[in-house]
Amino acid sequence: MKGIIRQAIADSSADYTEIRIERRWLNRVLFQREELETLESATELGGVVRCLKNGGWGISVFNDLTGLSKHVGEAAAMAAVVAARTDDSVVLAGVPVIEDEVRVELEHDFRAVPLQRKVELAQSYNGIILGESDKITATYVQYVDRFMETTFANSEGSYLVQELPDITLLLGAAASDGKGDIQQGMEYVGKAGGFELVEGMEEHAQIAAKRALAMLEAKPVEGGQHTVILDPRLAGVFIHEAFGHFCEADFLFKNPRMAKIMTLGTEFGGPDLQVVDEGFIPGGQGNVPYDDEGVRRGKTHLIKKGRLHSLIHSRETAGRMGAAPTGNARAVSYEYEPIVRMTNTYIENGTSTFRKMIKNVERGIYAVDAYGGQTEFEQFSFSAAYAYEIVNGEVGDLVRNVVLSGNLFETLRSIDAIGDDLEVGGGPGGCGKGGQSPLPVTTGAPHIRIRNVTIGGK
């Protein structure tokens, strides 16, 4: 393979050529209620060629690997059309030429686990949720494992082979009061790791079911402005979705006025606010030993002491801004070209504690985990998975329909306490951008407290 790839690159008429070949194996087990809803086993083999010619990009994607040279020619031809129609020319920041092979060793390799064991495990969790109460009307128990091997080569001489494992478990429960009200409870884990992660989750299955039941009794939150404490999961989703995407340099090129707001050194929060994107943490689903441009992983402080410290880059955005590539060029699969993406993104520990930050909140909301969220520039909106009232400095009753929304920059300035209990984690979802979804990432934070958050309710 190496010889064929090298030869196809050598024959290219483009100024820069790269080839990425990807092989992946995937198994998915999904139980819904009593049904084994999905059991699938997939293999993927595909490739992508990206060519830069006279400063324009052209791309060719294919499943049939026999015509590699033909696809190099096609990508170069597309690049020439782009170059002829545009004035600005792409310049790639220089990076070291690397030849490396990154193999992983898993504690309990899921590839060696029979499919039957995976089905039985998911089924047992499903049984626990169903058995919790007659009011449990639906379940969503999903096990997914994926093993990926990518080969990357470019015309500068880099040649990299790396393996990326990924395993997730989602334990979802829906409870109904029989009168039309339906509420959910969800627990999940995700890791670049082995089968051991998903074993021994019986207690979590029970927690998911119990929460769905408890949510039936929860009262709707009162809409309005509240002091809110976010748990590490929700705070992590917030910092990734609402802030992290602004640090992606390609986004800023497409939004020049936004780029002005995101000037390095600008103060966005208090001196104890620090935000990091890190290409490798043990077991992190966002891990990329080398990104999809063959750049070695980095650790980038997006916010340091409250001020914007660095953006994240691909070779193209770094080349344009005179910055160094940060190892953040990622593609969700061989069907796509790499774009600037986050990896493992988190708020670093502060000095407060959950106890301290809740103590002097007379009335507020403790919001936990996210069911979904979206941002449109500086406006964001997130649904908390569940939440509690805070009354006189203590966690009170469970409340429902907690959707937080607001303006990112005002919200960052309104963070007035950062805990010391950082947790970074993944899950079955992933990040979406530019039609490329779901890309495995992790997010995290310690508990944080924010003043004056708008919460929708009825």
Question: C-alpha dihedral over 62, 65, 70, 71, to 10 degrees?
Answer: 30
Q: Are strands 329-330 and 431-433 parallel, antiparallel or unpaired?
A: unpaired
Residues 28-87 that bind other proteins (CB under 8 A): 32-33, 35-46, 56-64, 74-75, 78-79, 81-82, 85-87
Q: Which lies closer to other proteins via its Cβ, residue 270 or residue 457?
A: 457
Question: Which of residues 151, 183, 328, 436 is near other proteins by CB under 8 A?
Answer: 183
Segment interacting with other proteins, rule: CB under 8 A, options 93-101, 111-119, 343-351, 357-365? 111-119
Stretch that binds other proteins, among 150-158, 275-283, 404-412, 443-451 (CB under 8 A): 404-412
Q: Does position 263 bind other proteins by CB under 8 A?
A: no
Round to whole Å and give the CA distance between 126 and 79.
Answer: 51
* 401 belongs to the binding site for other proteins (CB under 8 A): yes
Is residue 225 close enough to count as binding other proteins by CB under 8 A?
yes
* Window 120-149: contact mask with other proteins (x via CB under 8 A): -----------------xx-----------
Identity of the residue, 103 or 257, whose beta carbon is nearer to other proteins in the bound complex: 257
Separation in Å, CA 44 to CA 35, 109, 334, 430: 27, 19, 10, 19
Q: Is the sign of the CA dihedral 31, 32, 37, 42 positive or negative?
A: negative
Q: Of 302-361, which residues contact other proteins (CB under 8 A)? A: 335, 337
User: Residue 2 — left, alpha, or beta (φ > 0 → left; ψ -120 to 50 → alpha)?
Assistant: alpha
Please answer whether residues 272 and 306 qualify as being in contact, where contact means their C-beta atoms are separated by less than 8 angstroms: yes
The answer to whether the Cα torsion of 237, 239, 241, 244 is positive or negative is negative
And the tokens for 144?
């997914």
Closest CB to other proteins among 205 and 216? 216
With binding defined as CB under 8 A, does residue 217 bind other proteins? no
Q: Is 383 in the site for other proteins (CB under 8 A)?
A: yes
Token pair belonging to 320: 């344009």
The reply on whether position 379 binds other proteins by CB under 8 A is yes
Among 169, 205, 399, 403, binds other proteins (CB under 8 A): 403
Q: Is 378 near other proteins (CB under 8 A)?
A: yes
Shortest Å distance, C-beta 297 to other proteins = 25
Residue 456 CB, nearest approach to other proteins (Å): 4
According to DSSP, the residues that pair with 26 across neighbouring strands are: 42, 146
For other proteins, give the closer residue by CB, 274 or 317: 317
> 3-class secondary structure for 361-409?
CCEEEEEEEEEEEEEECCEEEEEEEEEEEEECCEEEEEEECCEEEEEHH
Q: Does 454 bind other proteins (CB under 8 A)?
A: yes
